[in-house]
Amino acid sequence: MLFFKTKKVLKSVANGHVLPLEAVKDEVFSSKMMGEGYAIGQHDGKVYAPIEGIVESIFPTLHAITIETRTGEKILVHMGLDTVELKGDPFSIQVVQGQKVKAGTLLAVMDLSQLTSSKKEDTIIVVFPEKIKGQLLMKNQEVTVQDELFKF
């Protein structure tokens, strides 16, 4: 009897331009210190769940959300660079801790004009802080929330 490992994939967290982590203008993410994953730039500010799971935590500064997948992996969705300093102002969180989400559930809305006026990058970063290995399926191109971007 053969057992097949189920394919686990993260979809895009936004409609925008997918980037490899190495292109992120923050060494903590670009050096993969925070784990493997991908980034999205040039988006409309709407941030969606990349996979089915449960919202494990919402940072007090609202700039990051952790999701635990059905199979136990933890995913960090980090909105913007150095945005912790903004104390949550540009973020409107649409979920609550403990909420079940599916790929495509709206997690948050980022106020892009407020980020621009605060001179902050609006790049969204999605990583596995637990150092899970994976493969970026697309890079340096336009994507939608329907696109599968990262296989693990």
**b/e per residue, 116-126, with b = 16+ CB within 10 A?**
eeeebbbbbbb
Residues contacting 6, CB < 8 A, separation 6+: none
Active site residue 78: yes
Could you give the CA distance from residue 27 to residue 4 in angstroms, rounded to a whole number? 37
Q: Which amino acid is at 106?
A: L
DSSP symbol at 93: E
Q: Where are the alpha helices (DSSP H) in the chain?
A: 27-30, 112-117
Give me the half-sphere count of Cα atoms (radius 13 Å) on the Cβ side of residue 71: 9
Catalytic residue among 17, 43, 63, 78: 78
Give per-residue burial for 50-63: e unless 16+ CB within 10 Å, then b.
bbebebeebbeebb
Catalytic residues: 78
